[in-house]
Structure 1
Amino acid sequence: MNIQPATETAPHEKPRPQSLTDLFISFTLLALQGFGGVMAIVQQELVDKKKWLTQEEFIEDWAVAQIMPGPNVVNLSIIIGGRYFGLPGALAACAGMLLMPLMLILLIAILYAPYANHPNVVHALRAMGAVAAGLILATGFRLISALKRNPLGMRICFALSALCFIAVALLRLPLIYPLFGLGFVGCALAYRKLAK
């Protein structure tokens, strides 16, 4: 019996987009799947399926995307594209996220105009709002597991989330106040914990 010695394998390299075209097509397909928001789909595709990001990287990038002006998912696409291919990658990912939805929304606007006041159309659009809220909640629940590794710990993260919900949903404060106020508190607490 001939036994050969085990060969050493190179460390497994993290998956990444293969080209600008791959980046553009991937974000175009993501954009076409999103009705009422693509955040849930982006998280599933980029973290679970393509593995371009870890759960922690996704949450960190998502946090940055949310505090930047503009649509969150577009900001996220720019961050990811820029990470892998610099400015051309950021532009390719952004174009993928915007081009087809823009063309579709223009077509829908043309078709929608004559039927805008039809009761069935109005009810269908209201129902889509509930679907969008459900997608956002489902994504939030999926991301909770990453808080276990957050330097602040689960209790502080939940407390900051609850305060933000109270400020925005109940007190109806403009988003800028809880964003910078609670954001500063969260950053300061994380800095203190990490400094130890």
Structure 2
Amino acid sequence: MPLSTIFLVFSRLALVGFGGVMPFAYRALVEQHKWLTAEEFAKYLATSQMLPGPTICNVSLMVGNRYAGTGGALAALAGMIAGPFMVVIALGVVYQRFGEIDMFRHAIRGMAAVAAGLILATAVKMAKSMFAKADWRANRARLQVALLALAFIGLGLLQWQLALVFCVLAPLGTAATYLLGEAK
């Protein structure tokens, strides 16, 4: 795959999804370009969340590397960074000039609400894909739902730090998988 194609796809993603790229990344990489399956996207996303740095940048590195090696990884990362960098500089200048105007502040709050909705919609799409393939008679599917519920309780309701929830649930999930005899 040409490096220019990778750069342009990720540049478009970064600019269209400014502030909330993941929903657009899912749509572009899975539904439009079909570079990844829904399952591969979920795996890349999970791996990226465990690595340091912005999740979408980690995903872009993995996808770019998959299709064009190190050059592709660098092209994808450059595409993710170049456009937003310019936009942030421009927004900083605009905010410095108009930040005290109420209409401007309300517009920023509205954009945040839209981004939250897009992230929720992507989570629902990914969950549908995961649950559609699940064999509910198998202990593995029940374990996944239980861990998902525990993560929601820890992060959403109890508002624990992500690191704490991860450090508790990762070993718990790993141990439960081996004890149930369903590790692959």
Same fold, judged at TM 0.5 (above): yes
Aligned twin of 2:117: 134
**Matches for 1:55-94 after TM superposition, within 5 Å:** 55-94=38-77
In the alignment, what sits opposite 2:183?
194
Distance in structure 2 (CA, Å) of the matches to 1:107 and 1:152: 52
Q: Does 1:163 align with 2:146?
A: no
- Segments of structure 1 that go 5 or more residues without pairing to the other structure are 1-17
Q: Which 10-residue stretch deviates more, 152-161 or 83-92? A: 152-161
Q: Structure 1 counterpart of 2:49, which letter?
A: Q
Q: Partner letter of residue 138 of structure 1?
A: A
- Secondary structure of 1:194's match? coil
Amino acid at match of 2:14: A
Unaligned segments of structure 2, at least 5 residues: none
Q: Which has the larger share of helix?
A: 2
Distance, in Å, in 1 between the alignment partners of 2:161 and 2:99 is: 30
Distance 1:144 1:189 in 2: 21
In structure 1, what is the Cα distance between the partners aligned to 2:96 and 2:155?
33
Distance 1:132 1:143 in 2: 17
Preserved contact between residue 31 and residue 38 of structure 1 (Cα < 8 Å)? yes
Counterpart amino acid of residue 75 in structure 2: A
Q: 1:174 pairs with 157, 161, 176, which one?
A: 161
Amino acid aligned to 2:30: V
Q: Give, as a single letter, the amino acid of the residue that structure 2 aligns with 1:121.
A: F
| Matched residue type, 2:152 | F
Conservation of the 8 A alpha-carbon contact between 1:152 and 1:189: no
Change (3 A) 1:152 1:139: farther
Secondary structure class of the residue paired with 2:182:
helix
1:34 equivalent in structure 2: 17
Structure 2 residue corresponding to 1:54, chosen from 37, 41, 46: 37
Superposed displacement of residue 153, structure 1: 4.3
Rounded to whole Å, the distance in 2 between the matches of 1:110 and 1:134 is 27
Q: In angstroms, what is the RMSD of aligned CA positions? A: 1.8
Q: CA offsets per residue over residues 13-70 of structure 1, 9 Å max, x none?
A: xxxxx21111111100111110431111111111111111111111111100111111
Cα distance, 1:89 vs structure 2: 1.3
Structure ID, larger Rg? 1
TM-score by length of 1: 0.83
2:129 aligned counterpart, secondary structure: helix
Match of 1:20 in 2: 3
Matched position secondary structure for 2:34: coil
Paired with 1:190 and 1:28, the residues of 2 have a C-alpha distance of 39
Percent identity over the alignment is 40
TM-score normalized by the length of structure 2: 0.88
Distance of 1:120 and 1:25 partners within structure 2:
33
Instruction: Please tell me the residue identity of whatever aligns with 2:166.
Output: L
The answer to whether the 8 Å contact 1:147/1:157 transfers is no
For 1:137, give the aligned amino acid: L
- Report the Cα distance in structure 1 between the residues aligned to 2:174 and 2:14, rounded to whole angstroms: 31
